[in-house]
Structure 1
Amino acid sequence: MTVMADRPHMLTEDFEAVARIGAREVEGLRLEFIDGVIRSKAVPDGDHGRIIVWLSRICMQHHPDLWLHAGQGVKVEQYREGRAIPDGVLAHEDAFVGQGDWVDPGPILMAVEVTSWDSDTERRDRIEKPRAYASTGIPVYLLIDRLECQVLVHSDPDGQRYETVRTVPFGKDVRLPDPVGIVLPTEPLKDWVR
C-alpha cells in the first residue's frame, strides 16, 4: 500500500477511535496524529515524570490559578485535524472540564515537551510539535531537551511557526515570556538526564 504524502493516513475521528482502543488494550501506549500521520510516543521514564512534577510546582508557585495539566490530549494543526499529547499544558485549573479526550487549545498558555530516549524525538519534538502548536496559536512551547541538555523556548506564533526560539543550556536561568511570565531556573535539570 502506498501512503499519499498529501493525504492523511485516516480521518481524525477514526484516529480518535483507534487511540481510545489502543490506550485500553496496550498498557502505556500513547498515540498522536500529527500532519496526517499516526505516531507513537514513548512511555515517560522516572526522570521525565520528575521534570513534569518539578515544572508543575514552579508554575503553581507563580500562578496558583493555573495548572500544568499532564498528558492532556489536544486538538492541533490548522482546522484542528491533528491530535497531540503534550507532556504538559499550562492553563486555568478548570480549562478542560467537560471537553473529553481531545481539548480545544484556546485556553492553553504553554505546551511542554520533555525529550524521550526514542528515535522519533528529533522529528516529533523539534519539528512536528512546534509547527502543530504554533498553528493553534499556543503562545509558548517549552522543550526540555534531555539529549542536548538544553531548554528551548518557542514564542510569538504566527500561525505556521514560532518566530522566536531561545536556547539555553541546563544550568542557566531562562525567562518564559508572557503570558507565562516565569523565570525558570534550569540547574535542577542536570540531575534528571542519563
Structure 2
Amino acid sequence: MAHEPYPSQDVLLEGFLALRTPEGFRAELIDGEIIVSPPPGGHHERAISRIVRQVMRNSPAEMDFSGNRGLVLPSGGRCPKNHVIPDGVFAPAELDLFADEAAYMRPGGLALVVEVTSSRPDNDREAKRHCYARGAIPLYLLVDRERETVTLFCEPVGDDYTESHAGVFGKAIELPAPFSFTLDTEDLA
C-alpha cells in the first residue's frame, strides 16, 4: 500500500483549525505547511504603528485597519485553502469589512496588506506574497527589517505581482489610489 507524502487536504485543514496555540502565538496554514510564530517584538509593532498612523493621517480615502485578522486565500497546491494572518490589512471604511466576528475572512474589498518580517522572513518575502496575489489583494507592502528595505507589490496576476517598487529605509514609497500619498519609511527600522 502506497503512503501519501502529505496528509489529505481535509485532515490537514481539520488539524490546523483544531490547533490551540499559546496566547500571543499565531498559526497559519500556507500551501500545506502549518507555521506557528511567536508574538512579535517591539520594533515589529512599532513599524506597523508608524504605517497605520501615516495611512490614517494622509490617505484621502477613509480607511479601516485590522491587525492580525486571518484571511482565507486560494492555495497554490497541497491544501484547499490557505489560512494566513497578515500583520495588518486596510480596507475602505464604507465597506465595513471587519464587522464580522469570524476569525478568518475572504480578501474581497481589501486595499492593502502589510507584513513586517520577523522570525521567518522568507515566508513574508515569498509564500505570503504569492498567497496575497492569488487572493487578488491589489497592494502588498513588505517591510523587510533584515534587508532594511520596503517593497510595495502591485498588480496581482495569478500567483504573483507584476510590479514592485522598493527602496531602502528612508526612501519614500508612493502608495497609489485609494491611498494616494507618499509613505515615509524613515522610522520603520
Q: Same fold (TM over 0.5)?
A: yes
> Displacement of 1:176 after TM fit?
1.7
Give the one of 67, 70, 82 matched to 1:70: 67
> Displacement of 1:69 after TM fit?
1.0
Deviation per CA, 1:108-148: give whole Å up to 9, x if none: 111100011x2x222x1111010000000000000001101
Give the one of 101, 114, 117 matched to 1:115: 117
Aligned to 2:184: 185
**Structure 2 stretches lacking a partner, 5+ long:** none
Aligned to 1:170: 169
For the 8 Å contact 2:88–2:115, the answer to whether it is kept is yes
* SS of residue matched to 1:147: coil
Aligned to 2:5: 4
**Structure 1 stretches lacking a partner, 5+ long:** none
For the 8 Å contact 1:174–1:186, the answer to whether it is kept is yes
CA distance in 2, matches of 1:188, 1:57: 12
CA distance in 2, matches of 1:56, 1:47: 14
Cα-Cα RMSD: 2.2
Q: Quick one: which amino acid aligns to residue 164 of structure 1?
A: E
Report the identity percentage.
34
> Displacement of 1:177 after TM fit?
2.5
Larger CA deviation: 98-107 vs 179-188 = 179-188
For the 8 Å contact 2:153–2:165, the answer to whether it is kept is yes
Larger CA deviation: 131-140 vs 151-160 = 151-160
Q: Quick one: which amino acid aligns to residue 17 of structure 1?
A: A
Aligned to 2:33: 37
CA distance in 1, matches of 2:4, 2:150: 35
For the 8 Å contact 1:115–1:145, the answer to whether it is kept is yes
Deviation per CA, 1:13-54: give whole Å up to 9, x if none: 442221xx22xxx12221000101101123110111111111
Q: Which has the higher contact order (CA 8 A, sep 6+)?
A: 2
Could you list the runs of 4 or more consecutive aligned residues of structure 1 that deviate by over 3 angstroms after TM superposition?
5-11
* Match status 1:161 vs 2:163: no
Q: 1:3 to 1:86 in 2, by over 3 A?
A: farther
Aligned to 1:91: 91
